[in-house]
Amino acid sequence: MTENLSLAKAINLGLQKAMRDDPRVILMGEDIGTLGGVFRVTEGLKNEFGENRVLDTPLAESGIVGSAIGLAMRGYRPVCEIQFDGFVYPAFDQIVSQLAKQTTRHQGTQAFPVVIRIPYGGHIGAIEHHQESPEAYFVHTSGLRVVSPATPSDGFHMIQQAISSNDPVVFFEPKARYWPKSDVDTGATPGPMHQSRVVRTGSDVTVVGHGAMVAMLLDAAEVAAGEGISLEVIDLRSLSPIDYDPILASVQKTGRLVVAQEAPGQASVGSEVAATVAERAFYSLEAPVIRVSAFDVPFPPANLEGYYLPSVDRILDAVDRSRGF
């Protein structure tokens, strides 16, 4: 069945389906029960499944994730919500020192099916600690799977795939894309969770991004098309592991690559994509790989985020520089 859904509602329905299908799935987080979460992603789930499966926790992110690790060891499949991206750091030690290492430590004899949902990114005019892109910290950490849906369809399917994984999954949800709607086939069989996807074909320059940046890349592609420039847009979807095959195939065709992200550029997902393509497709490149990112400073006050975050103009400038070689 096809429904017109926002990303927030699509994830809500994905959580609902996972909880109906498996009584071991429980939700944990601050204000996720009665309130339904600050973005209303868990709205209505407490009414259906009760307070024993939709747990309103104290304001203690380390405790949320630490408890989830113990619950996973007892056979549950906990899904933790970190209310805002900047709130994840109290849980950082539990995630990278404990959760990420447990599967290896137990040599695969113990599963740790913990999902950590993190709303991330800018474009909503929020205050300090409420707009960040911390994905590189977790991509750097072995033992974690890291994904980010850019569309309602991916939100619906990927949250279920993450919950069904026996490995821990950090699930980054782009806040800027919570409300726009698109069609979701809730009965479709999705492709693999860790598969990149070409969302617009083109011939002149390959542009790659994830999360909220995918919609901006598509906007840039529309503007470029009006100027006679054909951009091929690729949605990473998975940040760890990254599926490079569609990217390499595209670069072999276009000879040029621009990587865009909301996170700062230093030691980032974009840096990794740029380096890997330079290593594996060097002789196909006709120009250096160009990165477009936020600046390497803390996320600024809301009235300056338009200067800090990549824009269509900055993406098109990178495309022009790429084509200038």
Which pLDDT score, from 0 to 100, does residue 61 have? 97
CA 260 vs CA 178, 213, 242: distances in Å: 20, 7, 15
| Confidence category of residue 3, pLDDT binned at 50, 70, 90 | very high
Domains of the chain listed by start with CATH number: 7-185 (3.40.50.970), 197-323 (3.40.50.920)
Exactly one of 106, 123, 129, 130 is catalytic; name it: 130
Mean pLDDT of 53-73: 97
Cα–Cα distances (Å) from 134 to 138, 262, 269, 293, 312, in that order, read 8, 10, 10, 13, 22
SS (H, E, C) the chain: CEEEEEHHHHHHHHHHHHHHHCCCEEEEECCCCCCCCCCCCCCCHHHHHCCCCEEECCCCHHHHHHHHHHHHHCCCEEEEECCCHHHCHHHHHHHHHHHHHHHHHCCCCCCCCCEEEEEECCCCCCCCCCCCCCHHHHHCCCCCEEECCCCHHHHHHHHHHHHHCCCCEEEEEEHHHCCCEEEEECCCCCCCCCCCEEEECCCCEEEEECCCHHHHHHHHHHHHHHCCCCEEEEECCEEECCCCHHHHHHHHHHCCEEEEEEEECCCCHHHHHHHHHHHHCHHHCCCCCEEEEECCCCCCCHHHHHHHCCCHHHHHHHHHHHHCC
127 pLDDT band, cuts 50/70/90, is confident
pLDDT at res. 106: 85
Q: Is 123 a residue whose pLDDT tops 90?
A: no
Mean pLDDT computed over every residue of the chain: 96
pLDDT-above-90 percentage for the chain? 94
**pLDDT, tens only, 192-202:** 999 999 999 99
Residue 6 contacts residue 181 (beta carbons within 8 Å) = yes
Residue 254 has pLDDT above 90, yes or no: yes
Give the pLDDT mean for 108-124. 94
Residue 106 vs residue 88, higher pLDDT:
88
pLDDT of residue 302: 87
194 among known catalytic residues: no
- pLDDT score for 74: 96
Task: Give the model's pLDDT for residue 73.
Answer: 95
What mean pLDDT is predicted for residues 64-71? 98
Task: Please report the pLDDT score of residue 75 as a whole number.
Answer: 96
| pLDDT for 325 beyond 80 | no
| pLDDT for the residue numbered 105 | 87
The answer to pTM > 0.75 is: yes
Q: Provide the percentage of residues in the chain whose pLDDT is more than 70.
A: 100
145-173 pLDDT, tens per residue?
A: 999 999 999 999 999 999 999 999 999 99
pLDDT tens, residue by residue, 270-310: 999 999 999 999 999 999 999 999 999 999 988 899 999 99
What would the mean pLDDT of 121-133 be, rounded to a whole number? 90
Specify the pLDDT at position 103.
83
Q: Please say if the pLDDT value at position 83 is more than 90.
A: yes
pLDDT band at 128 (very low <50, low <70, confident <90, very high): confident
